[in-house]
Amino acid sequence: MVKRLTMTSKKNLWILAVIAVINSMGFGIVVPLLYSYGKRFGLTGETLGLLTAAFSIAQFFATPLLGSLSDKWGRKPVLIISLIGTCASFILFAQAQSLIILFAARILDGVTSGNISVAQAMISDISSKEDRAKNFGILSSAFGFSFVAGPAIGGLLSQYGLHMPFYFAAAIALVGVLLTTFLLKETNQNKQGKSLHHFSFISLITILKKPVVGLSVLVSFILTMAQFAMIIGFQTFTADQFKLTPTQTGLFYAGFGITGIITQLLVPFITRAFKSKSIVLMLSTLVCLGAMAICGLVSGLVIFAIALGVYGLFNGLRNPMLNAIIADNTDEKEQGEVLGINQSYISIGQTLGPITAGFVVAISLHSIFFLASLYILIAFVLSVRLKSKETKSS
């Protein structure tokens, strides 16, 4: 059955984009402030790492479970529950009086953070194979915009007290709950109710055995590690090598974020030129490899900025292509679960990338970019294999 984007589906698409902006903006607002806010309760650099890991571990296990529940009972109720959990976690942060409460709030946010994968499953529900990459691109650009705007808003609000950004993030999460409740239509037409299929955490491992989907999840995981390792290198390199101020570094990073948004908005034209999503992924990964290697080799700001901009442009194709490939090769009754598992691996990649970058930074400032290049090289080899597997599958 060929899916066509009806007026209701188009409305759902743009409401989901707005919800994505609201949800990820809350994340972007509070994450840069966690350390300065938590120091009053005894948070240190070491415990900040544990606080970050607590969220990622909770998300790793909870996101595929929420995705599976959305396959079974519908996307809308699960999305509402996860947004309520996000809202509650920000309120806990704002009212925290101890480090234990900060950890409880972060774990709660991780446990109920299935809204990303549920939103992706809803996009998949309403999209045809031809439109999936384009629609995933719209969703990704919405997330990207918020990650750029969120830290700026958080910085402004923190002038009125460090608790204010958390209350604001809770308020916009509540707006997301209201939008989902009253405007968003259920998209899962294959709800299973009391079906024989039950989610098992073994799926987190067994999914890697699936030829196309497993490789896609692995490529997504490794490219996420590369990006988040690069972010550590970016912060240290701009501060120690180029002597940029925090404001200049923030503007520089915002520019990097904007390049990814631009590319995601161009996804419809790219998929029109290249019919194979795996070829787009393979070529973009190759360009990212070259750009990251240049970042590790140069010492001048201009060439570094150009190379980072090229990386940002082509890295922006990663999520739309991989999410579309995963959705194209997954049964409609398991879309939420599988996209949730992919998001779980992304969350771990976001944690392991900075950790491994921390180990190599002692070698030299350039070493992190070479580490990121190594990750991208591995992802490129796997993407070549993915293209082969996808061809055999089709």
Alpha-helix residue ranges (DSSP H) falling in the chain: 7-30, 34-38, 45-73, 75-94, 99-111, 115-126, 129-157, 164-182, 203-206, 211-240, 246-265, 267-273, 277-297, 301-315, 318-328, 335-360, 367-393
Name the pTM for this structure.
Answer: 0.84
1-186 against 200-393: fold identical: yes
Could you please state the CATH topology (level 3) that the domain comprising 200-393 is classified under.
Growth Hormone; Chain: A; (1.20.1250)
Residue 332: predicted pLDDT:
84
What is the secondary structure of 46-103 as a DSSP string? Answer: HHHHHHHHHHHHHHHHHHHHHHHHHHHH-HHHHHHHHHHHHHHHHHHHHT--SHHHHH
List the CATH code of the domain at 1-186: 1.20.1250.20
Q: Per-residue pLDDT tens for 133-142?
A: 999 999 888 8
Question: Above 50 in pLDDT, residue 1?
Answer: no
Question: Above 60 in pLDDT, residue 278?
Answer: yes
Residue 175: predicted pLDDT:
92
Q: Whole-angstrom Cα distance, residue 323 to residue 327?
A: 6
Q: What percent of the chain has pLDDT over 70?
A: 94
Q: Give the residue with greater pLDDT, 203 vs 314.
A: 314
Q: Whole-angstrom Cα distance, residue 208 to residue 223?
A: 16
Structure tokens at 317: 């194709």
- Mean pLDDT calculated for residue range 202-220: 91
Domain ranges of the chain: 1-186, 200-393
Q: Per-residue pLDDT tens for 347-358?
A: 889 888 888 888
Instruction: Name the pLDDT band for 78 (thresholds 50, 70, 90).
Output: very high
Nearest to 246 by CA among 236, 258, 231: 236
Residue matched to tokens 């994450």: 31
Tell me, what amino acid is at 155? G
